[in-house]
């Protein structure tokens, strides 16, 4: 929000906010489903059944991804109609940002199992140090892209790239 506001002003920030509203519902729905798997994974790890914990987080990631995809694809294909009905607008910026947010959510959801597995195993310090350090550079990376003249949506593309890199780091730590 801060980076987009700095480069494009409050109007772009409003487009970003509208896109975020559309996609936060998808993310909350999927995450509430995934919360049911976390205690199971923690219990298996606590009982010394690491293979069952790995199976659980694998299922968690797959189901979460497919639920988000099942809901996300219709949103991506019909976001123009959704915006027309909801706010009587069809501006291109909001449509592009909404679609990219769904991609970001899908990348984040697929890594939710690895996040849970790392927490269950107890590698939280290393996880936070590496992934947290990577995530925190998103505004810097976005600012660089926007300074180089890339379009407004490159800030979200930067987030998607960093989140994908974070996913591979999570898997490596796991």
pLDDT tens digits for 44-79?
Answer: 999 999 999 999 999 999 999 999 999 889 988 988
Q: What is the enclosing helix (H) or strand (E) of 37?
A: none
Closest residue by Cα to residue 65 from 100, 30, 101: 30
How far is the C-alpha of 34 from the C-alpha of 85, rounded, in Å? 30
How far is the C-alpha of 75 from the C-alpha of 89, rounded, in Å? 16
Q: What is the pTM of this model?
A: 0.87
Tell me which residue has tokens 């991506």. 76
Residues 103, 75 contacting (CB under 8 angstroms): no
How far is the C-alpha of 56 from the C-alpha of 43, rounded, in Å? 11
Distance of alpha carbon 4 from its chain centroid, rounded?
Answer: 18
**Is the model's pLDDT at 171 over the cut of 80?**
yes
Please give the average per-residue pLDDT across 97-104, as a whole number: 90
């Amino acid at each position: 929000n801060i980076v987009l506001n700095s480069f494009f002003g409050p109007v772009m920030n409003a487009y970003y906010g509208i896109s975020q509203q559309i996609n936060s519902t998808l993310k909350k729905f999927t995450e509430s489903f995934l919360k049911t798997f976390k205690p199971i994974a923690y219990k298996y790890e606590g009982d010394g059944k690491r293979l069952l914990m790995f199976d659980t987080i694998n299922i968690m990631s797959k189901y979460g991804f497919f639920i988000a995809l099942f809901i996300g694809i219709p949103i991506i294909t019909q976001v123009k109609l959704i915006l027309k009905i909801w706010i009587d607008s069809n501006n291109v910026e909001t449509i592009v940002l909404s679609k990219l947010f769904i991609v970001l959510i899908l990348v984040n959801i697929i890594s939710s199992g690895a996040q849970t597995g790392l927490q269950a195993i107890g590698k939280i310090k290393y996880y936070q140090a590496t992934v947290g350090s990577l995530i925190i550079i998103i505004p810097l990376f976005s600012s660089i892209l926007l300074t180089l003249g890339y379009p407004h949506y490159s800030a979200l593309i930067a987030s998607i790239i960093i989140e994908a890199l974070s996913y591979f780091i999570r898997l490596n730590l796991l």
